[in-house]
Amino acid sequence: MFVSVRKFVSVTFFLTAALTLCQPLYAEKLVLYHTSDIHGYYFSRPGASGAPTGGFAVLENVLRQESEPFALLDSGDFSSGNKEANASDGRYSIELMNAAGQTPKNVSGKGYAALTIGNHDSDFGADTLGKMLGGFNGEILSVNIEGLQVPGKRTAPYKIFDWNGKKVAVIGFSMDGPGMSGMELKKLDAAAWEKLLKEIRAQKPQAVILLAHDSIADARKPSQLLDVLAEAPSAKETINVFLGGHAHLRHAERKMGAGGPLFVESGSMLEGTSRVVLDFDDETGELRAVSSEYITLDPAKWGENKAVRARLDQIEDQSLKRAFAAVPALLPKYPQGADAAPDLAKRLADYMKKWLEPQEKVDFAMFQLPGVRRDLNAGTLTGRDLAELLPYTEYVSTFNIPGKKFKQAAEASLKCNADGKNFSLFAYSDNVYIEYKCRPNHKKRPVKITKILLNGKKMSGRKIYRAAAIAHIPDGYFEGAPFKGYKYPQKKIYKKTSGELLFDIVEQLPGRDAASKQLTAPNDLRIVQRP
């Protein structure tokens, strides 16, 4: 009996082994860690809950615990937007990105494998950007940037990497910005994309990644690419993953239908990272599946890498920990509703007009809501909070605008959502009052302004008014686009930044010390929906 059992076991083992050899092995995986809109946020800091979150030291621990081969990719806006980043012209960003992922599982062997350029990466000018990128160990990818000079390197439209035996094509795409002088961004229509994708397919990559500073998730910042790609016949089948950014959102969905690319956005300020898994068939090498998860960089869960933390302590500007005031209640980055209260942008518009009064007569002022870069939580207001709320060198300007053009621009800046959470891209000074209607079935004018009052009187369509705004608004960049397109604005720029306006507001708050000074925002209604 014992012998027969032994024979049975042996035969069973042989048959099992044979069947196992005949079956496909587990698919091979390659992991992409994606970040975007880091904006110089190198450190862990209090999040919405008050608990610390984010930072390169936490990211390093996440990467060192990865069991699969991986590559690091960034969708731009990594170098500007924080005190430390701005003071170093973005060089600290490059240093930390080069040092990230110090583990044998990193298939690039040199930190981030590739990046593309965001609109704020050029804040210091094209020359400074080029010098900064000269120190980057990875690839600089942008299909649409021309004229960027990088010492010792070149900017390529795409790169086909050999990662762990898999050919992976990565295409870069950049967004225009005010600091792009010395560079040009060419527009690619559907035919141009089709030609590019054909060239890439001829090299037989096993996966194609679009690394773009472009968002598909936010109505405030509509995608520059989505409609164009939808018209390119092969885009849906060729591109496997669209790694986007710019809108500071966390997002993952298949926007172009079944079989189309997975669109992934990974938030901002290095609060987290997206882990995108490329699942290849072991027998054929073909890409079998793509999946994504968002990983919050929680120090309580992952810890902070000691070596990276030590370097961050050397970099951090300690002076920014000074207390300036108290914040009694949350001031959100994007208030819910077209004229929700309280709204910090209203206060900035009011003070901009007040600051300009001794210098020239201004009829009204406006401030763009996307210019406020983060929520301001209740609690102590520090120098770092102030620096991060309005981090960019955006100068105050004045310009002429006809009443008719202003109405058109204000109308285009108002959005009506199906959920009733309407919003305006701009807050206006307290002498402006606007009423509007939502018309969801009207294709050309889904929003109609029915009344604009200036100082309590009807605004004239024919009169030329003197307005105040951040300097890129009349030039038409980003949220300022509705204000572009009229002649002779006679723009004047003042060497006063939006961040300095905010510092002035805080310094002038009543109170003897930081604890007694309270930063609040106006809660009056200036934009009102009517049935």
- Cα 205 from chain centre: 28
Q: Is 8 a member of any domain?
A: no
Q: Is 395 a member of any domain?
A: yes
Per-residue model confidence as pLDDT tens digits over 13-54: 343 444 334 444 445 899 999 999 999 999 998 776 778 899
How far is residue 472's CA from residue 456's CA, in Å, rounded to a whole number?
28
Q: Is 172 a member of any domain?
A: yes
Residue that is last in its domain, among 272, 300, 315: 315
Q: Is 21 a member of any domain?
A: no
- Residues 242 and 351 placed together within one structural domain of the fold: no
How far is residue 264's CA from residue 77's CA, in Å, rounded to a whole number?
16
Across the beta sheet with 464-470, what order do the strands follow? 426-428, 364-368, 464-470, 395-402, 492-497
- Cα 439 from chain centre: 30
- Residues 69 and 143 placed together within one structural domain of the fold: yes
Structure tokens at 240: 């496997």
- Residues 370 and 258 placed together within one structural domain of the fold: no
Per-residue model confidence as pLDDT tens digits over 198-250: 999 999 999 999 999 998 876 566 677 888 888 899 999 999 999 999 988 89
Question: Is pTM beyond 0.95 here?
Answer: no
- Residues 238 and 172 placed together within one structural domain of the fold: yes
Residue that is last in its domain, among 315, 335, 351: 315
Q: Across residues 305-334, what is the average pLDDT?
A: 91
The domain that holds 272 is classified in CATH as 3.60.21.10
- Residues 329 and 452 placed together within one structural domain of the fold: yes
The residue count of the chain comes to 531
- Residues 308 and 250 placed together within one structural domain of the fold: yes
pLDDT of 190 higher than 70: yes
- Residues 240 and 297 placed together within one structural domain of the fold: yes
Task: Kindly provide the b/e burial profile for residues 477-511, where b requires at least 16 CB atoms within 10 angstroms of the residue's own CB.
Answer: bbbbebbeebeebeebebebbbbebbeebbeebee
Nearest to 140 by CA among 183, 218, 76: 76
Q: Is 498 a member of any domain?
A: yes
Structure tokens at 530: 């009517």
E strands, 200-254, where? 207-212, 241-244, 250-253
- Residues 257 and 354 placed together within one structural domain of the fold: no
From residue 94, alpha-carbon distances to 42, 103, 323, 347, 514 in Å are 11, 18, 30, 35, 35
Q: Is 419 a member of any domain?
A: yes
Q: Is 439 a member of any domain?
A: yes
Q: Is 3 a member of any domain?
A: no
- Residues 397 and 476 placed together within one structural domain of the fold: yes
Q: What is the pLDDT of residue 55?
A: 96
Indicate the residue type of 193. Answer: W
- Residues 256 and 394 placed together within one structural domain of the fold: no
Residue that is last in its domain, among 289, 315, 341: 315
- Residues 197 and 125 placed together within one structural domain of the fold: yes
- Is residue 126 a contact partner of residue 147, using CB atoms and an 8 Å limit? yes
Per-residue model confidence as pLDDT tens digits over 353-379: 999 999 999 999 999 988 888 888 899
Residue span of the structural domain in which 356 resides: 319-529
Nearest to 294 by CA among 46, 26, 54: 54
Per-residue model confidence as pLDDT tens digits over 473-505: 998 877 778 888 887 789 999 999 999 999 999
Number of domains in the chain: 2
- Residues 139 and 176 placed together within one structural domain of the fold: yes
For residues 351, 356, 362, 363, the Cα torsion angle rounded to the nearest 10 degrees is 10
